[in-house]
Amino acid sequence: MVNRQEDPGEAASRLTGRRVTGARRSSGTPAEVVLDGDTPVMVKRGDGPGAVRAEVAGLRWLAAADAVRVPAVLGHDERWMVIERVPTASPDPEAAMRFGQALAALHAAGAAHFGAPPPDGPQDAYIGLAPMRNAPGTDWPRWYAEHRVLPYVRGAVDRGTLLAAEAAVFERACARLPGLAGPAEPPARLHGDLWNGNVLWGADGEVRLIDPAAHGGHRETDLAMLQLFGCPHLDRVLAGYRQAAPLADGWRDRVALHQLFPLLVHVMLFGRGYAEQALDAARKVLTG
C-alpha cells in the first residue's frame, strides 16, 4: 500500500527506483528534487481522482504527435508523477516562430472526435483544479456549448458567482455559435490549457508544454487561450502557426468565442473577479 504521507522526494525515489540526493523546492508540489547522478526532476501530486492519470495520458498523447515537445514522464502512480525538469531561458523570437509551427503540427495530429480523451486517459479529467468532462461530439458548436461553456456557467451560478440573468447572456451566445463558428474543421489534438504559464522556453531554444488538459477540440481554442493572459513574442508564435497551417478567414473575430471556456473556468475556480471579463467576451460574441 502506498504511504499517503510520503513527501515528494520519497515518491520520486519509489517511482523511479533512484536515490534522492537533494531537494531544491520541496514544500508542496510541484517540487524539484535531485536524483542520483545529479538529475533534477519535478514531482507533482494529483489534486483529485484520476488527475495524475489524465495528465500523464495527456503528456504522452502530445508527445506521440512528435511536434511540440513535452517533459518526459519518468514514473507515476494514481497519486504522484515524476517528470524531467526543463532548464529554461528567456523567451526568444526564433523559438517563438518554431513553437508556432510545431503547435500547428500538434493540432494536425488530430483526435478521434471532439471531446476525445487521450488514449488511457479518463473521460472525467481536469483543467487546472476544475473538472472537465471529455464527452464525445461530432458537431463542434453544439459540443463546445454543451461541454465547454454551459457546465461552467451552471457551476458558477450554483456557487453564487454568476447571477441567473448573467447566465442568460452565455446561453444566448451559445445559441448563436452555429452561425459564428466559421468553417467546419476536423477535431484537433489540443493541449487544452495553453496559457503562458504552461509554456516553458527551454534553454536549448525549444519550447516545452506542461500541465495539459488534452482533448480533441477546435484548434482556435488553444490559440485563443494563448492570447488570453499574454505570451512573449505572440506575434511570432501566430506567424509561425499561420505559415505552417493557415487559419480560416475571420479567426480574429472568433477569439472571444473561444475564450469563453477558459474564462468561465477561471470564474468557477477564482470567483467574481473574472466574471466581468467572461461577460465581456460573451457580449462580443453576441454583437459579432
Any idea where the domains of the chain sit in the sequence?
8-84, 93-287
Q: Is pLDDT at 7 greater than 50 in this prediction?
A: yes
Distance (Å, rounded) from C-alpha 169 to C-alpha 116? 28
The answer for residues whose C-beta is within 8 angstroms of residue 196's C-beta and 6 or more apart is: 226, 229, 230, 231, 232
Taking residues 75-92, what's their average pLDDT?
96
pTM metric for this prediction: 0.95
CATH code for the part of the protein at 8-84: 3.30.200.20
Report the pLDDT value the prediction gives residue 27, as an integer from 0 to 100: 56
Taking residues 5-13, what's their average pLDDT?
92
Cell of 261: 471556456
- What is the residue type of 255? V
CA distances to 42, 192, 207, 255 from 102, in Å: 24, 15, 9, 20
For 92-144, write each residue's pLDDT tens digit.
Answer: 999 999 999 999 999 999 999 999 999 999 999 999 999 999 999 999 999 99
For 176-233, write each residue's pLDDT tens digit.
Answer: 999 999 999 999 999 999 999 999 999 999 999 999 999 999 999 999 999 999 999 9
CA distances to 99, 166, 212, 222, 278 from 285, in Å: 29, 14, 26, 18, 11
CATH code for the part of the protein at 93-287: 3.90.1200.10
8-84 and 93-287 share one fold:
no
